[in-house]
Each structure stands twice: as structure tokens, then as C-alpha cells.
Structure 1
Amino acid sequence: MATGDIPTTQLLISSGNGPVARTVLQTPLRDAEPSEIPVIDVSSLCTESSLTDRQAVARQIRDAATNTGFFYISGHRVPPPTTAAAHAAVLDFFRQPVDVKMRASIDQSRRFNGYRPAASQRINPFESVDVRESFSWAYDPRFDPAVADVAQIPPEVAAHLAPEDFPWEATANMPQFKVAVMEYWRACLGLARALIRAFALALELDEHFFDDKVTYPDAVLAMNYYPPIPKPEGVAAVGRAQSEQEVSIGSHTDFQLFTILWQDDNGGLQVLNRQGQWINAKPIEGTLVVNIADYLQRITNDRYISTVHRAQNWSGRERVSMPFFVGFNWNESCGVLDSCVAEGEKKRYEEISCFEWVKRRANAMYKTEGFSGRWRGYLLLNQRIRGVYLSTDKQI
């Protein structure tokens, strides 16, 4: 596509190395083409199959990872009833009054588990407060089917784990919430380990190359609740200053290896393609979305693309997404893989532990101070529409 005559704007995002800019074409938002975000059948990764079949899937994953960095997966073996139960439980939780949800506030957690209220997150410091609520739960080895005995976890790994019962005690009024969330988390964890082996094959490594790095992985399930926000029209939809845009969740890249996302049928996920166009990653029934994250881009020496994305809930309805973030064990450290350095190339990144990398990225998040009353008024309106109110002493 010729882009020389198309107006552009600069999009600022945060990164592990400070703010970075991306050039964005001011073209109308459009749906992704199959060549940009393909659908990949991963059933051979989740069942007994030949190495040849798994390698064929890995090649498709490699092609997607080096193109837009996003792809849909079908045949993933996450049971539809499991997903439906989790979705229903998440809606039930978020439709509760704020004071009930605040019993599960992350301020009371030792591990950043639990509820984050509206106006408490700002994933992109150059955009508005995220117009969303969320509930997240980090890896707990007690619930990992692959862990036979938590007492045998090596000390260097255990130092980064903080299992706690707080999230479930704080949601005891909804016992089905824990049951449904836990079942979905376990299904995603099994899928994630299968995908990690496929990524190893895609990098022309032994498929078990990363196995010892995901024995107790950074595996976080987040459940996002997005109230509707107004859809901009005409020029405003593509030409507004970044700081003036209302966002359901701001423009960002993910932190570790990759993300497995379930989204409801309301849509809203937008991806910045290689040409600098915002494109819709529309929901496709029966699929999950997978996207590459920063740490995987680093260790592949930029072979794989950690793509900027955001969510804009312009549907007029409440929207739910359930991203499952996947990374190596917190204590693991990894540099650029030798297989990703061609003759004459240099390694572009230094080795860094997963813990230090995620800490570096997270330090720029969840800062909502300094916002004008405009954002607070909008969020209050959304809460009142749903019959609940923000606390008057919340600083925005």
C-alpha cells in the first residue's frame, strides 16, 4: 500500500526502555485481513500427533509471529462450557455494587491479586485513564496440575511465589466465581505449555527447549470489564490528539512471552499493523487470540513482533475480555537466542531476568494521578448508569 500521501500522527507508548513513538496512518479503521491475523488450527498440539504435524503448525505460528504478531487459534481444546461458565461468573462479579467488589481490592493482596476499580489503571501514560475495571489472579502452584508437591519447589523459584487465599475469601459470596475462574485458568495453562513447545519448534529448537523455564510460570489471568464509551465520528476517529482520546484500555504491548485472549462478541480489540494502520481483530466464534509479547521479541532479536494494541468498547454494551498472560518462571533469565542471530548480525538486547523485565515494565502502570475532572465525570456517569457509584475520595 502506498502511504506517502496519507497524513500520519505519532503514537507514544511506554516500554521497558522509556517512551517510544510509532507512526500511525490516519486511515479509517478497518477489519483485519486473514493474511494479517490468520486463523491457525492448533489441534495437533493438543492431541497425540506426529512431530511432522506439530512442525507444520509451528511454521504457521512463525509466519504470524514475524508478520503482525497476532493470530487466532482454533482447535485449542479449551472447552466451550468452561469458557461460558467463566464469562458468566465474571459478569456476575462485575455487576455487583462497588463496595462489595472492593472487598477483593488488590490493596489487600500480597501478590497483586484481586479487584482494580474504575479509574485506577492507566496502561499508557500518554492516553486517558483506562475506562475499565479488572480482576486478576497470578500463578499459584497449589492449583497447577503439573505440580505434584509444592514443598519440593526449588527455593530460588519459591522466593518469587506468594500463594494466597485472599482473592477467594474476598469473593466467598460468589462461590461459583472461584470454581469457574480456576477451571478456565487451568485450561489456559495447559494450552500455554503446548504453545510454548510450538514456539520452540518455530524457532527450529527442540520442542522441549523451554520446558524447564515454565515449570512454575508467570501465568496471570486477568478479567476485564469495559463499560461502553462514545464512538468518535469522522475525522475525530482517526485524527484526534492522543492525549484527547478516551480509551477502554490504552495502546500498549504485553510484557512477557505471549498472551492468550478470549473476547466476547462485542468486539473492540484493535491492532496496529506493520504499515501503521489500526485494524480490528474481530471476534471469531470458537477461537482465541494469541499475541507476541516483549520478552519473546527480545529473545528472538526482533524476529517476532510484540505488536501495539488497545481496546475501544464502542459497542454500546458492556464488554468482557479474559487475557491469560504467559511468561517464564520469575527467576529465569534469558538473552537473545543464538538461533535468532544470523551471520553478521549482533544481539540487540542484553540478558535480563523475567522478574526484572516485568518490574521495569510495570513501574509505568497504574498511575492515575493528574487527570482532569473531565475523566472523573465521565466515569461517574458510567457507574451511575449501572446503578453504582465511585467513592468521592478517589483521587483521579
Structure 2
Amino acid sequence: MAMGYRLDRYGRQVPVGLSARQTDFSELPVIDLAPMFGSDPEAKRAMAQALRSACIEVGFFYLKNHGVPQPIIDQAFAASAEFFALPYAEKMEIEQTRTPGYPGYTPMQEESGDAKSRKRQEGFNMNLELPLDDPYVTSRRPFFEPNSWPRRPAGFRDTLLTYFGEMRNLGQKLLGGFALALDLPEDHFQPMITKPITMMRVNHYPPQEDQASDDEDIGNGAHTDFECFTILAQQKGITALQVVNGKGEWISVPPIPGTFVINIADQMERWTNDLFSSTMHRVLNKNAMDRTSIAFFFGSDDDIVMSPLPNCVPEGEAPKYPPIRAGDYVLGRVDNAYEGNLKKKLA
């Protein structure tokens, strides 16, 4: 049970304490995406209804029959493990503050010496890969800066780009399911994702069996994500992700073979006028081994103006959120997380 709350940097209540309840997770839905690859309207409607319930009641769900080949997932994890095993100095050649925009390597707090950072993780960040002469690249639009690739391991770039491409395709398919779940045409969002803000972060968490001093001194403290939704691949057999349920309890989210974990993020919560829940989550690796995860953040085109969807605003009520350009919203949220450094790098 939660032992109380604290306020995070956005003024939201976060349950304190390091314990998490173990459960059978029949309460965390498993959504079957198979109907979205077919043409049966009844099957799609049934899937959309299950998806709608998951997004309203939980904000998190497992996704099965997603169409991403398992070897591509396995290769991405293997390449990531090779990268994180490199010497610290070599990884620091592409350290995130030394490279333009968002891409690059982020070290663990112990290695970086950054007293402000309490995350017990290191990561590799990447954007949608565009040609260097693309107008989005040459004009230095946020989140379209060229990626920063390490010298090693061999094949790392191609492996992660292949995985990124699969995630982008899956995100487009899943967004069609979200449209149906919102009683919209399946292709409603397609014109809004022609060149979307899509980012990916590979996370590496060392073991933290009994070392945490409080609920911020962990792999990743309580937070919500910024874009429309996140597609998370978890390392097999290692449970570290936790989400908050409606009772304010931290609930462990074990990996289920053949599935991704999907969570609604803040952009989708705004778009749906709070109908879909962006649920707080954290990472605490209390295992005796390292843990890797791959998070793909799927958003809209950056020049889309987000306003709450009309069919998500009750008749006679005003929308909860004013219109805002999607790129400005995401930049503001990410820059806040990076304590203002991202905007400075883009200046």
C-alpha cells in the first residue's frame, strides 16, 4: 500500500515508498492487435472497445500479435548490450550534452558526477533518421537532429534503425486502433503523422537489490511520458517496471513473452481531454542482474496544433486544455526534464 504522497516538479501527487504489490495482472489488460491487420469490421470494433477500456481505466496494457518479428527485437537487445558493455570513455564520445539536440549517450549518475541526476540508469537516445539535406534537419527543428552513432559495436546503427522502423510501423497501426477506440475513422490520425516526432531510448539499469535510499534514488523515478504513447520492450524474465493503480499502490509489470507494454502519454491525454489516462510509472531494478529496456515514444507531426477532440469534450463544457503546437509542447516537456539544456543546444 502507498505510505503517503509527495509532489513532483509538475505539482502532481506521487506515492512514496519502494515496495510494490505483486499481482496476477489480469487487471492489466492484454490487447490483441491482430484484427488491425485484417479486414473484419466486427473484430476491429471488439478490439477497439477493449482498447478504449484499457486506456480509460488503466492507461497501460500489454500488446500481443503486434506483427514485429521476434528476431528483430532480440537483435536490438543484443546490440544494445554490446554498446553498454563498451568502455565508459568510448561511450562518452557521443555523450548527449556534447551532441546537437536529443540524440546520444546519457551516463549514469555515478559516472557523470551529476548531483542533480538521481537516475540509476544509462541510455542511448535516437531520433527519426532523416537525410542530412532534409529541410527538417537543415532548419534544425527540435527532435530531427542527426543521430549520434558510436564507433562500435559493428552493426549497431543498422540494427537499431531496423528496430526503429518496425516501431514506427507498429505505432501507425496502433494509432488506427486508438482512432477506432475514440469513435473516429481508422485513418483519422494518418494525415497528422507524415513526419512525426518519434524518439527512442535504450535504457540500461544496473542491479539495485538493497541500495535505494528513497523513491527517487532508483532506475527511473515516478513520471509520465510526453508524447501520444510509448511502446516498451522489456528484457525477458526481469521485472522492474511499476505503475500506479487507482488505489495509489505501486504495481509490478512483469514482461510477458511475445508482448510489448503500451502506455498512454501526456499528449494523448490532452488530445482526449483527459478521457485516456497518462499513468505514472517508475523503474526499480531489485534483481541480481542488469536490465535493459527499449522505449519508443510515438507522437504526431510537430506542426500539428493539438486541441481536445470535440467528441471528447462533454456538451456544454469547455475543453480542459488550450490549443498548442505539438512540437512546442513536446519540446517544453523534454527541456524541463533536461533542466533547460535542450533549448540551449538548439539555440
> TM-score when scaled to structure 1?
0.78
Q: Which amino acid aligns with 1:285?
A: P
Deviation string 1:223-258 (CA, Å, 9 cap, x unpaired) is: 0000111337xxxx9xx865xx52101110000100
Alignment of 1:192-341 (within 5 A): 192-231=171-210, 242=215, 245-264=216-235, 265-341=237-313
Alignment of 1:343-358 (within 5 A): 343-358=315-330
Q: Distance in 1 between matches of 2:56 and 2:255?
A: 22
Q: 1:134 aligns with which of 107, 123, 143?
A: 123
Alignment of 1:11-26 (within 5 A): 11-14=6-9, 18-22=10-14, 24=15
Q: 1:56 and 1:209, CA in 2 relative to 1: closer, same or farther beyond 3 A?
A: same
Q: Distance in 2 between matches of 1:181 and 1:156?
A: 23
Alignment of 1:117-196 (within 5 A): 117-119=107-109, 129-142=118-131, 159-160=141-142, 162-164=144-146, 167-168=148-149, 171-196=150-175
Q: CA deviation at 1:161?
A: 6.0
Q: 1:8 and 1:314, CA in 2 relative to 1: closer, same or farther beyond 3 A?
A: closer
2:20 match? 29
Deviation string 1:117-156 (CA, Å, 9 cap, x unpaired) is: 111999xx9x96100000010112449xxxxxx86x7999
Q: Which amino acid aligns with 2:32?
A: D
1:10 match? 5
Q: Is the 8 A contact 1:259 1:326 kept in 2?
A: yes
Q: Which amino acid aligns with 1:256?
A: E
RMSD between aligned residues = 2.9
Q: 1:104 and 1:277, CA in 2 relative to 1: closer, same or farther beyond 3 A?
A: same
Q: Distance in 1 between matches of 2:111 and 2:47?
A: 37
Q: 1:157 and 1:331, CA in 2 relative to 1: closer, same or farther beyond 3 A?
A: farther
SS in 1 for 2:151: coil
Identity of aligned residues (%): 31
What stretches of structure 2 of length at least 5 have no aligned partner?
A: 341-347
Q: Which amino acid aligns with 2:304?
A: E
What stretches of structure 1 of length at least 5 have no aligned partner?
A: 1-5, 144-149, 369-396
The 10-residue stretch of structure 1 (29-38 or 68-77) with the greater mean CA deviation from structure 2: 29-38
SS in 2 for 1:175: coil
Moved over 3 A (4+): 24-28, 32-35, 153-163
Q: Distance in 2 between matches of 1:27 and 1:117?
A: 23
Which has the larger Rg?
1
Q: CA deviation at 1:111?
A: 2.7
Alignment of 1:358-369 (within 5 A): 358-367=330-339
Q: 1:116 and 1:341, CA in 2 relative to 1: closer, same or farther beyond 3 A?
A: same
Q: 1:50 aligns with which of 20, 34, 40?
A: 40
Q: Which amino acid aligns with 1:251?
A: A
> TM-score when scaled to structure 2?
0.88
SS in 2 for 1:71: strand
Q: CA deviation at 1:335?
A: 0.6
Deviation string 1:305-336 (CA, Å, 9 cap, x unpaired) is: 00000000111111000000010011111111
Deviation string 1:241-277 (CA, Å, 9 cap, x unpaired) is: 65xx521011100001000000112110000011111
The 10-residue stretch of structure 1 (34-43 or 318-327) with the greater mean CA deviation from structure 2: 34-43
Q: Distance in 1 between matches of 2:98 and 2:268?
A: 32
Q: Is the 8 A contact 1:229 1:314 kept in 2?
A: yes
Alignment of 1:63-82 (within 5 A): 63-82=53-72
